[in-house]
Chains A and B, each alone.
Chain A
Amino acid sequence: MTTDPVGPLRGTLDLLVLQALAGEPRHGYAVAKWVRNASDDAIEIDDGALYTSLHRMEDRGWIAAEWGMSDSNRRAKYYTLTEAGRRQMETATEEWARYSAAVDKVILRGEGLGG
């Protein structure tokens, strides 16, 4: 975890995208749709930010990109999780679990004090 305040959020976005790619290769639009559906529209993300996250992770070698044909028969860029990406996803998931548990603990204690 970094001390950067936007850190957790950015980490979260990457984590969501990695999760989206864990099942199968997807193009950007499909990733965006998956994230939206999976969170029941609870998380608001710019689709643009999502692409930035995709490209950044491609840079880091967590995902690989390849041009292919979409269901609608158009040229689309498909992203696949790499081995490094899978490891990253596991670490990040674990970290997130610990982080959110810690946050929960803090919030619960806050509620206790308030009550």
Chain B
Amino acid sequence: MAERLPRGVRRFFRLGAVRPEVDREVDDELAFHFHEAVREGVENGLTREEALARAHTDFGDVGAHRDDLRRLGERRARRRALRSFLVTMGGALRGALRSAGRNRALTAGIVITWSLGLGLGATMYGIVERLMLQPPDELARPHELRHVLLEQQGNERSAPGAESLSNYPDYAALLGHDGIDVAGYTQTFTMTVGSGATAARAPAVGVFPGFFRVLGVRPLLGRFFSDPLELEGSWQPVVVSAERWRGAYGGDPKVLGRRVEIGGRPHTIVGVAPPGFTGTGLQRVDYWIPLRVPTSAEDFFSPLPLPGLAFCVTSRRCRWMRTVARLGPDSSSEAAASEATRRIANARRADDDDVRGVRVRFESIVVAARGSVGDVQVRLSLWLLALSVLVLLIATANVVNLLLARGIRERSHMALRMVLGAGRWRVVAQEAAEALVLSLVSAAVALALARWAGGLIRSTLLPDVYFPDAGMSPRVLALTAATAVISALVASIAPALVGTRTGFGAVLQEAARVSSPARSRLFMVLTNLQVAVCAVLLVGAGLFQRSVSNVEAVDLGLDVDGLIQASLVFEEPFMPVPTTIDLYERAADLVRAVPGVASVALTNAPLGLMSTVPVTLPGLDSPPEWPGGDPLQRSVSPGYFETTGVAIVRGRALRSGDPRTVAVVDETMASYLWPESDPLGACIQLYGSRDCTRVVGVAEPTATTGFQDGRSMAFYVPQDGDSPYQAIYLRTLAGADVNRLAMMVSSTLDGSSPEILTSHVESLEALLDPQVRSWRAGAVLLSLFGALAVSLAIVGLYAVLAFDVAGRIREMGIRSALGAGRGRLLWSVVSKGAAMTGVGLSLGLAGAFLGAPYVGELLFAVSPRDPLVFVGVSLCLMGVAVAGALLPGVQAMRTSPAAALRAE
């Protein structure tokens, strides 16, 4: 393999002619031996043939001995090469330190530039590796694990593909099956842990006891759940994460047996999970709560806000869980899937349930884990990785520029070394080794940077994903080191060649004339590329920033600030409607008493839930055509409008004591139904009835799910006893801590009545945040990348122009002597900078324009070719050009004829 490398590289590493050289030496030595033996034999009176035969006899097996000698020789040569490499590196280190001392600013520039590029690359690679390449941590033999999907035809909800196997009866059909070991678990819930002043919120997942066995995890402390589950007296066992154990319990080994209230239910800590364990997902989970394999409906008890489980034990329509499977080492994925399909079909037939097109499919655990992260975030991560590679290239290009600059400055040193007998390759190797030292120092800085600033990127882009080792996996470290080495080689070879090209005499003559046309061209191309990349990054940043502004400008109708949404989870899934309404009304009274709550209202249609009702108008034979479907009906309690902040634009809001036959319609509906006339007092008929519901007010339109829905028409009616409430809205007093209040409300509601299992309380801001997150992440990160690239480009531009000016000192001096004004000299530099930026900018904008269709769907209400953004970026980069050119320009301006003479 070594032989296939180019000669220069081989010599560089002294891999060179190791084997042929050793072979030749061994052959020479043996040839001498036989020559001497024969000579002596002949002197003693033997014939040549006899002497040779005697020598062979004395020597033994020539072939075998020669092989031994060669082997020994090669080993020796390799050791010598390593020693010499280490000596060279040691020399390089000393050289690098000396040279760093001589050119402090330049060295600092190189290290900063490189560490920014490498740090960004390391961070983004760490993220993408977590998302795309690695299974979640701590799983044994993850290649045997699969996420179980269930495909079913004729089920319109799952029509486009398979869904997670999410109902208990089908799951139960797979239990106790050789060759595939399954375990069910729930989604992550944010649970209230503890009570009163010490209450906190923590992510929790419910798992069937076999979960840890299937994943092959071992506890750090204590034990996992017994299968079947045994209670700790009347207390339910719980496993806590290592991170939570270290944080909230101070890493106390006596934590086992400690009691903790989760969702208002008593639990006993029986074990601590290993550090970094996140189950099958990528999000941190602090509490693992056991689900009991149900033998009866009452047995299915859990603090988690799961749907009524009595129903779910027997119904396939209750989808509430996910399933992970471990395939036996010998069983094929296909065989296991078809066996699982057969079992589920049999179970369904036995229950007289639908078996049409039922099919089990397996999904890789890596893909399934990624599924818990937003698709936009995943794609954004890939884009950002690609961009970080570009930034790294920019950084390396800049280092080339800076090293070229140094190479030029140090050329006399190199020439001196060459005159003193160092071969050209030796000098180049020394230069490369110095660059290597610089790049490895940069890599170390980069990793520190990635650890510290990378946290910012990770939490902006993927706030939910847990990076156990702060994104610094061994692979990230290795890749960063390898990238550093490669970029050092790339960056050092050219400058070293430039530095060693000229002989000593030529150096003395040319030392002053630093600017050669060929090198200027190289500088120019590199700088233009940098500016182009900057343009692309800034366009991206601008587009995402516009998306964020557009999202934030969306009027949801609701006044999101200080609004909290609370919903109840009942023990029984199908509570009678009047009971539900009653429980909600009682809960609302409890919430109203919580300090910090300004007002409270109830609704059947909180954010994300919709209920439509057929509406007709008197005098029309058939119902009107409703664009976007039937109008949304919102049954609300009095005080709804003041609590949610939905403005009444005409008439009045609903009040307590209103009869059931009044309604408030939203503006969309009002202007559609009564474009010409006054809607107040108009009549609408609900549910096909002939009774009139009178319009008493008009409200502003509101969102139904979030930022991206098309507005349907909606109307508000008082609770008519038929539409169960689904949520409590509460407005906080000005200045109240919304999250703290949400927690207090949650612990007030949890267990406040035997029918209430638990509650789900969240501020509207938190509910909506995931919808804004991807744009915000894109805007923040692209701005960060862009700012980095721009600052690197300024350095690059500065380097080019500074060397251009230095090379033209003589010309400038002459021009100055001939009467050129200072302004003209300044302009000559600045205009050159602007011209160079102009080319790069055009390239970059053209690239962004052509690439626009690929990012279009990641944006919100902004064209990927938004002219405002393109113009803004152009202005910004021209400003950068002037900034980069100013210092060299001033230097040019100050050139005096005398300086030109000194340069001679």
Enumerate chain A interface residues (CB-CB to B < 8 A).
Answer: 27-29, 32, 46-49, 51-52, 55-56, 58-59, 70, 72, 74-77
A78 shortest CB reach to chain B, Å: 10
Known: A46-B59, A55-B73. Contact between A70 and B32, CB under 8 A?
A: yes
Residue of A nearest to B71 (CB): A55
Query: Is the beta-carbon distance between A74 and B60 smaller than 8 angstroms?
Result: no
Residue of B nearest to A48 (CB): B65
Choose among A51, A55, A72 the residue that contacts B36 (Cβ–Cβ < 8 A): A72
Instruction: Tell me, yes or no, whether B156 is within 8 Å of chain A by CB.
Output: no
Contacts of A74 in B (CB 8 A): 32, 35
A70 to B28, CA, bound (A): 13
Choose among A29, A52, A59, A72 the residue that contacts B76 (Cβ–Cβ < 8 A): A59
Interface residues of B in 605-649 (CB under 8 A from A): none
Query: Is the beta-carbon distance between A28 and B68 smaller than 8 angstroms?
Result: no
Query: Is the beta-carbon distance between B32 and A51 smaller than 8 angstroms?
Result: no
Query: Is the beta-carbon distance between B32 and A77 smaller than 8 angstroms?
Result: yes
Query: Is the beta-carbon distance between A51 and B29 smaller than 8 angstroms?
Result: yes
Query: Is the beta-carbon distance between A28 and B59 smaller than 8 angstroms?
Result: no
Query: Is the beta-carbon distance between B33 and A52 smaller than 8 angstroms?
Result: no
Choose among B58, B60, B65, B72 the residue that contacts A56 (Cβ–Cβ < 8 A): B72
Residue of A nearest to B73 (CB): A55
Instruction: Tell me, yes or no, whether B683 is within 8 Å of chain A by CB.
Output: no
Interface residues of B in 38-79 (CB under 8 A from A): 39, 55, 58-62, 64-65, 68-69, 72-73, 75-76
Query: Is the beta-carbon distance between A59 and B39 smaller than 8 angstroms?
Result: no
Instruction: Tell me, yes or no, whether B737 is within 8 Å of chain A by CB.
Output: no
Contacts of B37 in A (CB 8 A): 29
Query: Is the beta-carbon distance between B35 and A46 smaller than 8 angstroms?
Result: no
Query: Is the beta-carbon distance between A75 and B60 smaller than 8 angstroms?
Result: no
Query: Is the beta-carbon distance between A70 and B60 smaller than 8 angstroms?
Result: no
Contacts of B29 in A (CB 8 A): 28, 51, 76-77
A56 to B65, CA, bound (A): 12
B123 shortest CB reach to chain A, Å: 47
Contacts of B35 in A (CB 8 A): 72, 74
Residue of B nearest to A77 (CB): B29
Contacts of B58 in A (CB 8 A): 32, 46-47
Interface residues of B in 409-432 (CB under 8 A from A): none
Query: Is the beta-carbon distance between B59 and A77 smaller than 8 angstroms?
Result: no
Contacts of B69 in A (CB 8 A): 51-52, 55
A65 to B25, CA, bound (A): 11
Contacts of B61 in A (CB 8 A): 46, 48
What are 28 A-B residue pairs whose CB atoms fall within 8 Å in the complex?
A27-B32, A28-B29, A28-B32, A28-B33, A29-B32, A29-B33, A32-B58, A46-B59, A46-B60, A46-B65, A47-B55, A47-B59, A47-B60, A48-B64, A49-B60, A51-B29, A51-B30, A51-B33, A52-B68, A55-B68, A55-B69, A56-B72, A58-B76, A70-B32, A72-B35, A72-B36, A74-B32, A74-B35
Contacts of B72 in A (CB 8 A): 52, 55-56, 58-59
B694 shortest CB reach to chain A, Å: 106
Contacts of B62 in A (CB 8 A): 48
Contacts of B30 in A (CB 8 A): 51
Residue of B nearest to A71 (CB): B36
B539 shortest CB reach to chain A, Å: 63
A70 to B35, CA, bound (A): 12
Interface of A is mostly: helix
A107 shortest CB reach to chain B, Å: 29
- Interface residues on chain B, size class: 20 to 34
Contacts of B73 in A (CB 8 A): 55
Choose among A29, A59, A72 the residue that contacts B75 (Cβ–Cβ < 8 A): A59
A70 to B36, CA, bound (A): 10
Query: Is the beta-carbon distance between B33 and A47 smaller than 8 angstroms?
Result: yes
A83 shortest CB reach to chain B, Å: 19
Contacts of A27 in B (CB 8 A): 32
Choose among A29, A52, A70, A77 the residue that contacts B65 (Cβ–Cβ < 8 A): A52
Contacts of A51 in B (CB 8 A): 29-30, 33, 65, 69
Query: Is the beta-carbon distance between B60 and A77 smaller than 8 angstroms?
Result: no
Contacts of A72 in B (CB 8 A): 35-36, 39
A76 to B31, CA, bound (A): 9
Known: A28-B33, A55-B72, A74-B35. Contact between A49 and B65, CB under 8 A?
A: yes
Closest A-B pairs by Cβ, 4 of them: A48-B65, A46-B60, A48-B60, A29-B36
Contacts of A59 in B (CB 8 A): 72, 75-76
Query: Is the beta-carbon distance between B25 and A77 smaller than 8 angstroms?
Result: yes
Residue of B nearest to A27 (CB): B32
B80 shortest CB reach to chain A, Å: 11
A29 to B32, CA, bound (A): 8
Residue of B nearest to A46 (CB): B60
Contacts of A28 in B (CB 8 A): 29, 32-33
B26 shortest CB reach to chain A, Å: 9
A55 to B62, CA, bound (A): 15
Residue of A nearest to B39 (CB): A72
Residue of B nearest to A30 (CB): B36
A16 shortest CB reach to chain B, Å: 15
Contacts of A56 in B (CB 8 A): 72
B219 shortest CB reach to chain A, Å: 48
Query: Is the beta-carbon distance between B36 and A75 smaller than 8 angstroms?
Result: no
B187-227 vs A, Cβ < 8 Å mask (1 yes, 0 no): 00000000000000000000000000000000000000000
Point out which of A48, A49, A55, A70 has the most chain B C-beta atoms below 10 A from its C-beta: A48
B35 shortest CB reach to chain A, Å: 7
Contacts of B65 in A (CB 8 A): 46, 48-49, 51-52
A58 to B26, CA, bound (A): 13
Query: Is the beta-carbon distance between B32 and A76 smaller than 8 angstroms?
Result: yes
Choose among B28, B36, B76 the residue that contacts A77 (Cβ–Cβ < 8 A): B28
B73-110 vs A, Cβ < 8 Å mask (1 yes, 0 no): 10110000000000000000000000000000000000
Point out which of B33, B39, B75 has the most chain A C-beta atoms below 10 A from its C-beta: B33
B669 shortest CB reach to chain A, Å: 94
Contacts of B64 in A (CB 8 A): 48
A74 to B39, CA, bound (A): 12
B752 shortest CB reach to chain A, Å: 82
Interface residues of B in 304-326 (CB under 8 A from A): none
Contacts of B60 in A (CB 8 A): 46-49
Contacts of B55 in A (CB 8 A): 47
A58 to B64, CA, bound (A): 19
B44 shortest CB reach to chain A, Å: 12
A60 shortest CB reach to chain B, Å: 10
A24 to B55, CA, bound (A): 24
A87 shortest CB reach to chain B, Å: 21
B825 shortest CB reach to chain A, Å: 65
A77 to B76, CA, bound (A): 16
A48 to B35, CA, bound (A): 15
A74 to B65, CA, bound (A): 22
A87 to B73, CA, bound (A): 24
B504-529 vs A, Cβ < 8 Å mask (1 yes, 0 no): 00000000000000000000000000
B46 shortest CB reach to chain A, Å: 16
A48 to B637, CA, bound (A): 106
Contacts of B25 in A (CB 8 A): 77
A62 to B721, CA, bound (A): 103
Contacts of A70 in B (CB 8 A): 32, 36
Residue of B nearest to A74 (CB): B32
